[in-house]
């Protein structure tokens, strides 16, 4: 009789991502992304924290989530916990606020000025609009129009 995703906790429906986000936040970590591969039943969790993620963090999180997923009857075959990497994805407005001044690469859903792909310096985030400096010009781009956004690694 297990519910997998969504499933039920305390009488209300809660998505797997919401469960992971609240659990990790309570542990002092930020959930960056979740990947579920149905065929192999792989559950891949990307986490971050100020100062970055260590291997010890990954072990601690993996041990905790393994027990949580069993208790919550979440069907998975293998769990992977990882840092988001140098090219960390940006998904939430708080992600963009955190990385003001960094170079980012993004792809829009709907083109702006005939273009969907941009690389520039993130200058500001305000009310769902990001200001991206591209070749000395500031562009106002709506967060709701973003398909993908990632940090450009500093090498």
pLDDT in tens, 18-53: 999 999 999 999 999 999 888 889 999 999 998 999
Query: Tokens standing for 133?
Result: 């400096």
pLDDT beyond 50 at 68: yes
| 109 and 82 Cβ atoms separated by less than 8 Å | no
Gap between the Cα atoms of 100 and 25, Å rounded? 22
| 152 and 87 Cβ atoms separated by less than 8 Å | yes
The pTM for the full model equals 0.78
Domain ranges of the chain: 7-82, 93-151
Q: 93-151 — its CATH code?
A: 2.30.30.180
Mean pLDDT score across all residues of the chain: 89
The reported pLDDT for the residue numbered 110 is 95
Gap between the Cα atoms of 101 and 122, Å rounded? 5
Q: On the CB side of 68, how many CA atoms lie within 13 Å of its CA?
A: 16
In CATH, which superfamily holds the domain spanning 7-82? RimP-like superfamily, N-terminal (3.30.300.70)
Gap between the Cα atoms of 27 and 68, Å rounded? 13
**DSSP code at position 32:** E
């Amino acid at each position: 009789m297990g519910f997998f995703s969504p499933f039920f906790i305390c009488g209300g429906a809660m998505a797997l991502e919401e469960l992971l986000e609240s659990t990790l936040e309570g542990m002092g970590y930020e959930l960056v992304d979740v990947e579920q591969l149905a065929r192999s039943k792989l559950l891949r969790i990307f986490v971050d924290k100020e100062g970055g993620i260590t291997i010890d963090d990954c072990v601690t999180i993996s041990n905790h989530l393994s027990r949580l997923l069993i208790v919550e009857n979440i069907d998975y075959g293998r769990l992977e916990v990882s840092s988001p990497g140098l090219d960390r994805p940006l998904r939430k407005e708080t992600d963009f606020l955190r990385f003001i001044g960094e170079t980012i690469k993004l792809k829009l859903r709907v083109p702006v000025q005939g273009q969907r792909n941009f690389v520039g310096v993130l200058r500001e985030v305000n009310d769902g609009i990001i200001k991206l400096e591209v070749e000395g010009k500031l562009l106002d781009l709506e967060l709701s129009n973003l398909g993908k956004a990632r940090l450009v690694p500093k090498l």
